Amino acid sequence: NAITAGTVRQAYLFAGPRGTGKTSLARILAKALNCAQGASPTPDNTCNSCVTITAGTSLDVIEMDAASQRGIDDIREIRERVVLQPVEGRYKVYILDEAHQLTDAAWNALLKLIEEPPPHLVFVFCTTELQKVLPTVRSRCQTFVFQRPRLPELVRYLRRVADGEAIQVPDQALALVAR
């Protein structure tokens, strides 16, 4: 909706348990922002920008594992590089996975960038422990909390897929697959 409305935020915080799609959605957001067809909620997945983001080779999308790059020196490196314009897309997207592992000093070094970023910069912080992200940072990010789908939701989705493919399958079998 933000892309459609032209109200893309400069910092997003995706929180939730492992395996709920936080980092995957961060990559999809990067594609949606940088697709050669224009910023769109449905990137074409065929242009060079989309292909390189999918392959993890885009110069405009930088993924960092905050578990191993968690210090202030790593953040200083980001601060030095953000002034560079995107190579191919419209945005430089920094995806920091396991962001809760950044040190307080690193978060404080990032705070100025989050508050006053260049117009071509978007941060996506992914975390499994929202409470460990500094409150000052959380207040400056648009936060999305991810949850695992419940068993009945999965069964309904599987039923919709099975019906759409004209596959005859009992609900008990769908529940077993969902489990």
Whole-prediction pTM: 0.85
CA dihedral in degrees (124, 29, 94, 46; nearest 10)? 160
Instruction: Decide: 23 and 144 in contact? Cβ < 8 Å.
Output: no
CA dihedral in degrees (19, 71, 9, 129; nearest 10)? 40
Average pLDDT, the chain: 91
Model pLDDT for residues 84-127, shown as the tens digit of each residue: 899 988 999 999 999 998 888 888 888 888 998 899 999 999 99
pLDDT over 80 at 134, yes or no? yes
Start-to-end CA distance of the chain, whole Å, equals 32
pLDDT at position 141: 95
**CA separation (Å) from 60 to 30, 49, 55, 102, 104?**
9, 9, 12, 22, 26
Per-residue pLDDT band for 70 (boundaries 50, 70, 90) equals: low
pLDDT at position 71: 66
Model pLDDT for residues 31-43, shown as the tens digit of each residue: 999 999 988 899 9
Of 7-16, 66-75, 126-135, which gets the smallest average pLDDT? Answer: 66-75
- pLDDT mean over 134-149: 94
| Gap between the Cα atoms of 114 and 101, Å rounded | 17
pLDDT at position 82: 81
pLDDT at position 76: 77
Compute φ and ψ for 13, nearest 5 degrees. -125, 115
